[in-house]
Structure 1
Amino acid sequence: MKPFTVNISETVLTDLKNRIQNTRWPGEAEGSDWHFGTSEKYLKEITDYWINGYDWKKHQDQLNQYPQYTTDIDGIQIHFQYIKGKGSNSIPLLLTHGWPDTFYRFHKIIPLLTEGEQTFDLIIPSIPGFGFSDKIAISSEAVADVWIKLMTETLGYNKFCAAGGDVGMGVTKALASKYPDIMERVHFTDIGYPMGQEDPNTMTEEEKLFAQFVQRWWYSEGAYAMVHSTKPQSLAYALNDSPVGLAAWIISFGNAGAPPELIETAFGGRDELLTNIMIYWVTQTIGTSMRMYKADAIAQWGGSQPLEKTDVPAGIVVLPREAQFPREWAERFVNVVSFKKLDNGGHFAALEIPEVFSDELRSFFYSL
């Protein structure tokens, strides 16, 4: 373990500003608003704030507020935050982010989960290919193998808990399936989607309705995942070269889960949205982050055996701006002991509703 500090040079920041100022705007169809993708009107507004109002140095200091480290696991440099709880018997909790976010997804809940009596030792790594970890793309199952070594060999925990959503869901589910003797409890904000491989004769009516919703969603909003899973390299050239293009792609995903007026709210705020984009930009990891979808697609469709259902106790929350999957769908994959529907929030619950999400994690992990 080596201490790590985020320290981005002024040269990188000056280059970013110049690139934004020299953007060749494509124009947009009259009245298209958000129906063709990210609104150019909105994008011009937020990029103007990016170079004239947003303060990266302030948020860089915020990133450095908590202890960070790097370590080498199987030849891959892993970046992670490690914050010990102040309670007398803290639970070790591994939090895994998704796409298009980073380890920054959890920064608002760190003080909420490490102070008081019922606290956690928080381990918040950057997935390989994301942020300040090595620029290499591996499958969710392979990430789970790396996380086990991080937790047991690097940090010395015999058992621990884990939570994750989006890509982090796949990693957490793999941890529970492959290492049930080490994982004590797991928590999810989603649990995967029907992909057409399911036997309809085994599905309940609620699951069939969920599958129909997911199919419609993929056709209307799933372009990003299809590109990532098939041609991520083709897109990487553009997004790694243009900060405005990078922002447009990430914001477009946020729009898929929230109406335009809630896009910044969904990411926790305008500054939080830009800080998340900045982490991709300064580390040049948008290409490898997208390539992880390809690695997972190869694993899924390349003949790998699917993970078995795990007996590790699992907590599930369904957020109102996420796909509304039924409990029986979750029970296909994990041992559901808690299933709740929340009244507010979306894909980035830890950013958008940190107090509610922290209470949910504490309630679940300390209830068993």
Structure 2
Amino acid sequence: MSDELRPFRIHIPQADLDDLRERLARTRWTRGLPGEGWSRGVPLAHLKELADYWQHGYDWRRHEARLNEFPQFMTEIDGQDIHFLHVRSPEPNALPLVLNHGWPNSFIEFADLIDRLTDPRAHGGDPSQAFHVVVPSPPGFGFSAPPRETGWTATRVAGLWAQLMRRLGYDRYGTQGGDLGAYIAPDMAKAAPDHVVGVYIIAGLGLPTEADVPELTDDERAAFEQLQQADWMNGVPHHALLRAAAQTFAYGWHDSPVAALAWMTQKFKEFTVADKLPEELIDRDLLLTNTTLYWLTDTFGSSSWPMYDSAGFGWPEGQKAAPTGVYSGAPGIRRLAERHNTIVHWPTDNPGGHHFVAMERPDDVAADLRRFFDKVR
């Protein structure tokens, strides 16, 4: 194994971009099905409009150049080639922080957040609250090599990230995560309890299950019933789908950009907790950059290991090796979260209308991250 950190820059061959546009131009559109709005999935007119913009208006090279403004590297850990961003703050006493993205997302989830964390002075903030930011891509996501065998878990990835932070020379650091990252970030504290000063989760701790219902108060039971009716709880069951046949669906997502776009649009709509379209909350180009990255790196299938390597779904549990804070306590219940976490930060009024809130409200996420880590740094 080599400890070498190899500088990396994104440069997609022009032939790959030309192929994407040609495939979009040759789309064999299916007919629309009867039904209101999104009741049958992504509406035909909506997807046609998005696909037309992807083909004629979206500029990958512009976003590629922006992403290349972040220092990027590759390194091998336990035989796995890992891609990561390492953006050091101009403030020498900044706290190192690992940002763990979700699924079906990528390091692009934090494109608008990073500078707010590394250089608060430039955003009218306190320079003493700065972070050195590390954003690794798990195996099978983005430019990290795909898993070569089964058996990948959040715990295994967390162990890789603890090794990565040692390799970067960081002895004391924080971790953050949402969605898939809400499983990896706590496991980093378990993997390196003497080094992780705090764990920050976007949301998902303390969510009640059917087993908790008998002990819930009337208000908590009403909130649980409301949770069960939420769109993101009742959409396409991607855990079951990808656990059963990830390979089958990956053929279509890799061969047809419109199939890939429809899948991403479906999931980002279901992850919109407000009654709005994803692009009403998140910049359309940011959504398309994430989709384009998946398309260009052939990672629709390889990023599915959190589903196909699991036996079932369970909410993130957390850990007690380090203090925990959240961006949003709701719809979780604090006393349930405290069964497995030492909660020191539990706001219930932070704004947000999307599951991937760092893409929607980077200023608010940055401010709340600073509030939490001020308590534990």
| TM-score, length basis structure 1 | 0.90
1:317 aligns with 2:327: yes
1:364 aligns with 2:375: no
1:262 aligns with 2:277: yes
Which residue identity is paired with 1:179? A
For 1:194 and 1:348, how far apart are their aligned partners in 2? 18
SS at match of 2:327: strand
When structure 1 is superposed on structure 2, of 214-223 and 167-176 the one drifting more is 214-223
User: Would the alpha carbon gap of residues 44 and 179 (structure 1) be closer, same or farther in structure 2, given more than 3 Å must change?
Assistant: same
Contact 2:73 2:86 in 1 (8 A): yes
Match of 2:85 among 66, 77, 81: 81
1:352 aligns with 2:352: no
Which residue identity is paired with 1:125? P
Task: Name the counterpart of 1:121.
Answer: 132
For 2:88 and 2:256, how far apart are their aligned partners in 1? 38
Contact 1:193 1:211 in 2 (8 A): no
1:285 aligns with 2:299: yes
For 1:297 and 1:195, how far apart are their aligned partners in 2? 20
Tell me how far 1:210 sits from its aligned partner: 5.0
Task: Name the counterpart of 1:188.
Answer: 201
Tell me how far 1:148 sits from its aligned partner: 0.7
For 2:343 and 2:62, how far apart are their aligned partners in 1? 41
Match of 1:336 among 343, 350, 361: 343
Which residue identity is paired with 1:312? A
Contact 1:139 1:299 in 2 (8 A): no
Task: Name the counterpart of 2:23.
Answer: 19
Tell me how far 1:293 sits from its aligned partner: 1.5
Match of 2:243 among 229, 240, 259: 229
Tell me how far 1:177 sits from its aligned partner: 3.2
Size of the aligned set, in residue pairs, is: 358
Match of 2:144 among 123, 133, 143: 133
Contact 2:207 2:332 in 1 (8 A): no
Which residue identity is paired with 1:332? R
Task: Name the counterpart of 2:288.
Answer: 274
Task: Name the counterpart of 1:59.
Answer: 63
For 1:183 and 1:109, how far apart are their aligned partners in 2? 21
SS at match of 1:41: helix
Contact 1:265 1:352 in 2 (8 A): no
Q: CA RMSD in A?
A: 2.4
Contact 2:323 2:343 in 1 (8 A): yes
For 2:131 and 2:299, how far apart are their aligned partners in 1? 29
Deviations 1:307-347 (A, max 9, x none): 7841411111228xxx6222123223321101012133421
Match of 2:163 among 126, 149, 152: 149
SS at match of 2:351: coil
Match of 1:162 among 175, 191, 203: 175
User: Would the alpha carbon gap of residues 299 and 247 (structure 1) be closer, same or farther in structure 2, given more than 3 Å must change?
Assistant: closer
Task: Name the counterpart of 1:303.
Answer: none
For 1:325 and 1:195, how far apart are their aligned partners in 2? 7
User: Would the alpha carbon gap of residues 209 and 174 (structure 1) be closer, same or farther in structure 2, given more than 3 Å must change?
Assistant: farther
Tell me how far 1:184 sits from its aligned partner: 0.7
Tell me how far 1:211 sits from its aligned partner: 4.6
Match of 1:49 among 43, 47, 53: 53
Which residue identity is paired with 1:264? E
User: Would the alpha carbon gap of residues 367 and 265 (structure 1) be closer, same or farther in structure 2, given more than 3 Å must change?
Assistant: farther
User: Would the alpha carbon gap of residues 48 and 193 (structure 1) be closer, same or farther in structure 2, given more than 3 Å must change?
Assistant: farther
Tell me how far 1:265 sits from its aligned partner: 3.4
Contact 1:193 1:214 in 2 (8 A): no
When structure 1 is superposed on structure 2, of 42-51 and 186-195 the one drifting more is 186-195
1:72 aligns with 2:76: yes
SS at match of 1:344: coil
Task: Name the counterpart of 2:9.
Answer: 5
Tell me how far 1:262 sits from its aligned partner: 3.1
For 1:28 and 1:86, how far apart are their aligned partners in 2? 53
Which residue identity is paired with 2:327? V
SS at match of 1:325: coil
Percent sequence identity over aligned pairs: 34
